[in-house]
Amino acid sequence: MSDLRRVLVLNGPNLARLGRRQPEIYGYTSYDELVDLCVGWGRDLGLEVEVRQTNHEGDLLDWLNAAADEETPVVLNAAAWTHYSYAIYDACAQLVAPLVEVHLSDPEQRPEVFRHTSVVTPHAAAVVAGYGIDGYRMALEHLAGR
């Protein structure tokens, strides 16, 4: 068993397409590169980081429920589900350990009005938005207490 504190980095729909999907908004870093960066940043911060992505809402709900049961801190980029999923809202509400919400772009600065609402924010200890991939590092630093 590792001496590092476990953290989940959970990503919602379309994030596996990083680097290919609207790079002018989401950047050119691939999802695999994001995973490697998060694991490395975590290790440097004394965290054991596990990164997951799904396009299936039920998977994300199961992961959040397990994080609640295991009192595991979470970095969450719920992607489109951020703006309308009350199931995600309810799952985040039961988390015991800190939750940090992260977004590559700043949803409040996006032209689509629906993006200005987050069902995650009410349950988040912090929100990191608009810093691209570096936002994940900032979220992990928050969880590490830096």
Q: Given this model, what pLDDT does residue 18 score?
A: 87
Q: Is 89 a known active-site residue? A: no
Q: What is the DSSP string of 57-70?
A: HHHHHHHHHHHHHH
Per the annotation, does 11 bind a ligand?
no
Q: Which residues span the domain enclosing 28?
A: 5-144
Query: Which residues does residue 103 pair with via DSSP β-bridges, in sequence order?
Result: 129
Q: Given this model, what pLDDT does residue 6 score?
A: 97
Closest CA to 96 of 70, 78, 71: 71
- Residue 2 pLDDT > 80: no
Tens of pLDDT along 107-125? 766 667 666 589 999 999 9
Per the annotation, does 118 bind a ligand?
no
For residue 106, name the pLDDT band (cuts at 50, 70, 90).
confident
The CATH number of whichever domain residue 82 belongs to comes to 3.40.50.9100
Per the annotation, does 116 bind a ligand?
no
Q: Given this model, what pLDDT does residue 53 score?
A: 98
Total structural domains within the chain: 1
Q: Given this model, what pLDDT does residue 1 score?
A: 41
What average pLDDT score do residues 11-34 get?
85
The whole-chain average pLDDT of the chain stands at 91
The answer to whether 10 and 63 are in contact (CB under 8 A) is: yes
**Could you say which of 56, 86, 89, 103 is catalytic?**
103
Q: Is 26 a known active-site residue? A: yes
